[in-house]
């Protein structure tokens, strides 16, 4: 085994990046960085029927956005057209499987399994020669019938090893027959009929599997493509992978993989299987259950740093009270010994909390910049307004925001007036006539103010003094003022809103909105 830690993230190019995939990639990356090792990206595209065009580029964009890095494998070439990095030969640029914007780097290229078929075929045949695998000539119809019978008898669905018992002459005849028909048989792994295999898992400890319950799985399909089981073992060996970090759903496959290592005479990788990610009701989080694609979370206004912090806690626990971690802090603290065996609950409220904490840490200017595309989505052209105005609006909502996508709904009144009925202006302990009188007096007061009087502190002091002098109660005065400015039942207070409106649109805008409210009361 190499002394240098080498981990890999090996997704299939079948669509969007989901929460489970991001967690696997993140934990693999954190473990490698914590141990000064290398993190490799390999693409497992042996199931060509499920391949989605553009999935690799999409994955690379997402990983770049959230800060998960790869030292070898695929990467996005600079969109600016600077061409290939100096350490990359043009010959390893992928063609057909990915666009010209994707390149490969690393001494173990190609990192795309469909370009490594000859290697898998060679090793599958080697296993046949050693008696650790065999040709299977069974038709799909026979296998379907066998499956139905086993279900009817409530038996495990496993291959009955019919072809494993063929004589050498029968195999030779069948191969000739298939060759004439221009067909290929599959190759199945020959699981030992007795004994057991023990997994030494870095998270779950020792797990023992009796060989009699393991299926003689297909390792090479009739189209010449390997199944996951053969390809993953061959690639991890040749790419010198030391640690495989993957979801616990792969635990039942691990004894088969360990047997393949044994058959080849190779030292196996170490395995760490991550607990399932669960819904709050403890059911398994499905890719079809709600929006679990990382792109969706980003589009909804979750910050990459918050998303990474949240995902890190899906199964990992630092064993202290700290919850907010930068990527560097996660790298420093990450330890597989701190990964729980129990399923990790995906809690939307917790994700919202993490996101709100990161939003609060931003400067108003930085937050306003992040909010611009979300204002645009709400049909608010932010570029028509000053950065100072946008930053003031951002600061006003900063403590309340859970995700950036809420900003359009929360702040639309700062950019255009809201339509509302006159009854909304009337405080519950007041009436229309009193409301009109209060707003008229407030209009007269504010009309005398100069621009410097529209600072929040000054507004609050002078308006509250005015309320006392006029013997009004706060609700009867401040409720209609806030509604006049925002058109909403729920919003920041009138002093904050008036000061920000005056900053961006001037004192005149504040007075115009009060005048419009008075017209509604008429």
Average pLDDT value for residue range 205-209:
98
Same domain? For 180 and 250 the reply is: yes
415-436 exposure pattern, b = at least 16 Cβ within 10 A, e = fewer? beeeebebebbbbeebeeebbb
Name which of 11, 4, 8 is nearest 36 in CA terms: 4
Same domain? For 254 and 294 the reply is: no
Does the pLDDT of residue 85 top 70, yes or no? Answer: no
CATH of the domain at 389: 1.10.8.70
Contacts (Cβ under 8 Å, ≥6 apart) of 121: 220, 224, 226
Structural domain includes residue 320 = no
Same domain? For 72 and 134 the reply is: no
Structural domain includes residue 202 = yes
Same domain? For 235 and 303 the reply is: no
Q: How confident is the model over 346-375, as pLDDT tens digits?
A: 999 999 999 999 999 999 999 999 999 999
Q: Where are the beta strands (DSSP E) in 26-129?
A: 38-41, 72-76, 102-105
Residue 291, pLDDT score: 54
Contact 197, 220 (CB under 8 A): no
3-class secondary structure, 124: helix
Beta bridge partners of residue 272, listed in sequence order: 245
3-class secondary structure, 97: coil
Asked if 287 is an active-site residue, the reply is yes
Residue 50, pLDDT score: 81
Q: How confident is the model over 468-503, as pLDDT tens digits?
A: 999 999 999 999 999 999 999 999 999 999 999 999
Same domain? For 160 and 226 the reply is: yes
Beta bridge partners of residue 197, listed in sequence order: 209
Question: According to the per-residue pLDDT averaged within each range, which of 90-94, 268-272, 315-319 is highest?
Answer: 268-272
Residue with tokens 């910050």: 303
CATH of the domain at 422: 1.10.10.350
Does the pLDDT of residue 95 top 60, yes or no? Answer: no
According to DSSP, residue 427 is labeled -
Contact 503, 470 (CB under 8 A): no
3-class secondary structure, 134: strand
Q: What is the 3 state secondary structure string of 376-394? A: HHCCCCHHHCCHHHHHHHH
Same domain? For 95 and 139 the reply is: no
Q: How would DSSP label each residue in 441-452?
A: HHHHHHHT--GG
- Taking only Cα atoms into account, the Rg of the chain, rounded to an integer number of angstroms, comes to 32
- What distance in Å separates the CA atoms of residue 116 and residue 243, rounded to the nearest whole number? 21
Same domain? For 140 and 270 the reply is: yes
Tally the domains of the chain. 4
From 287, 402, 434, 464, the catalytic residue: 287
Same domain? For 369 and 220 the reply is: no
Cis peptide before 108 (omega within 30 of 0): no
93-102, 366-375, 510-519: the lowest-pLDDT one = 93-102
Measure CA 451 to chain center: 47
Q: If pLDDT is split at 50, 70 and 90, which confidence band does 410 have?
A: very high
For residue 396, the enclosing domain spans 363-411
Same domain? For 74 and 149 the reply is: no
Average pLDDT value for residue range 80-106:
49
Structural domain includes residue 374 = yes
Contact 31, 5 (CB under 8 A): yes
Same domain? For 260 and 124 the reply is: yes
Average pLDDT value for residue range 410-438:
94
Structural domain includes residue 163 = yes
List Cα–Cα distances, 394 to 297, 386, 492, in angstroms.
20, 12, 12
3-class secondary structure, 207: strand
- What distance in Å separates the CA atoms of residue 330 and residue 34, rounded to the nearest whole number? 9
Q: How confident is the model over 21-44, as pLDDT tens digits?
A: 999 999 999 999 999 999 999 999
Q: How would DSSP label each residue in 260-312?
A: HHHHHTPPPPEEEEEPPEE-TTSSBPPTTSS--BHHHHHHTT--HHHHHHHHH
Strand 218-220 to 186-189 pairing: antiparallel
Residue with tokens 């907010």: 324
Cis peptide before 224 (omega within 30 of 0): no
pTM of the complete model beyond 0.75: yes
Q: If pLDDT is split at 50, 70 and 90, which confidence band does 2 have?
A: very low
Same domain? For 394 and 450 the reply is: no
CATH of the domain at 39: 3.40.50.620
Contact 256, 229 (CB under 8 A): yes
Structural domain includes residue 356 = no
Residue 16, pLDDT score: 87
Q: For residue 225, give the H/E element and its range.
A: none
Same domain? For 52 and 89 the reply is: yes
């Amino acid at each position: 085994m190499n002394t240098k830690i080498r981990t890999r993230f090996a997704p299939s190019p079948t669509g969007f990046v989901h929460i489970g995939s991001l967690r696997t990639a993140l934990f693999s990356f954190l473990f490698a960085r914590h141990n000064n090792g290398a993190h490799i990206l390999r693409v497992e595209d042996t199931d060509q029927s499920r391949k989605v065009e553009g999935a690799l580029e999409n994955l690379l964009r997402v990983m770049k956005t959230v800060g998960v890095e790869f030292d070898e494998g695929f990467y996005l070439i600079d969109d600016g057209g600077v061409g290939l990095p100096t350490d990359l030969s043009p010959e390893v640029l992928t063609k057909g499987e990915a666009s010209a914007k994707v390149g490969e780097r690393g001494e173990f290229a190609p990192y795309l399994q469909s370009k490594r078929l000859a290697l898998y075929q060679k090793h599958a045949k080697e296993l046949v020669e050693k008696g650790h695998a065999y040709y299977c000539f069974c038709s799909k119809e026979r296998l379907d019938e066998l499956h139905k019978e086993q279900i009817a008898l409530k038996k495990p669905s496993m291959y009955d090893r019919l072809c494993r018992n063929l004589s050498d002459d029968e195999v030779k005849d069948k191969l000739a027959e298939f060759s004439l028909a221009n067909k290929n048989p599959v190759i199945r792994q020959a699981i030992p009929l007795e004994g057991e295999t023990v997994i030494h898992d870095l998270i779950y400890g020792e797990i023992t599997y009796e060989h009699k319950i393991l299926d003689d799985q297909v390792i090479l399909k009739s189209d010449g493509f390997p199944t996951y089981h053969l390809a993953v073992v061959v690639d991890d060996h040749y790419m010198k992978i030391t640690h495989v970090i993957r979801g616990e759903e792969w635990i039942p496959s691990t004894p088969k993989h360990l047997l393949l290592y044994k058959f080849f005479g190779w030292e196996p990788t170490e395995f760490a299987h991550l607990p399932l990610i669960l819904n709050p009701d403890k059911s398994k989080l499905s890719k079809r259950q709600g929006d679990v694609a990382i792109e969706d979370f980003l589009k909804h206004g979750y910050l990459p740093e918050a998303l990474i912090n949240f995902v890190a806690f899906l199964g990992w626990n630092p064993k202290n009270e700290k919850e907010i971690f930068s990527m560097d802090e996660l790298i420093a603290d990450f330890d597989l010994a701190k990964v729980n065996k129990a399923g990790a609950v995906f809690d939307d409220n917790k994700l919202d909390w993490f996101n709100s904490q990161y939003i609060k840490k931003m400067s108003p200017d930085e937050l306003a910049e992040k909010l611009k595309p979300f204002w645009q989505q709400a049909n608010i052209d932010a570029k028509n307004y000053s950065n100072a105005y946008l930053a003031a609006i951002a600061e006003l909502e900063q403590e309340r925001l859970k995700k950036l996508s809420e900003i359009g709904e929360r702040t639309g009144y700062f950019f255009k007036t809201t339509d509302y009925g006159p009854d909304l202006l009337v405080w519950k302990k007041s009436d229309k006539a009193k409301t009109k009188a209060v707003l008229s007096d407030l209009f007269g007061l504010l009309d005398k103010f100069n621009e410097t009087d529209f600072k929040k502190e000054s507004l609050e002091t002078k308006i509250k003094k005015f309320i006392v002098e006029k013997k009004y109660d706060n609700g009867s005065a401040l409720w209609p003022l806030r509604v006049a400015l925002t058109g909403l039942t729920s919003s920041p207070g009138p002093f904050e809103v008036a000061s920000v409106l005056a900053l961006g649109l001037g004192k005149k805008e504040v007075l115009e909105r009060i005048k419009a409210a008075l017209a509604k009361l008429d």
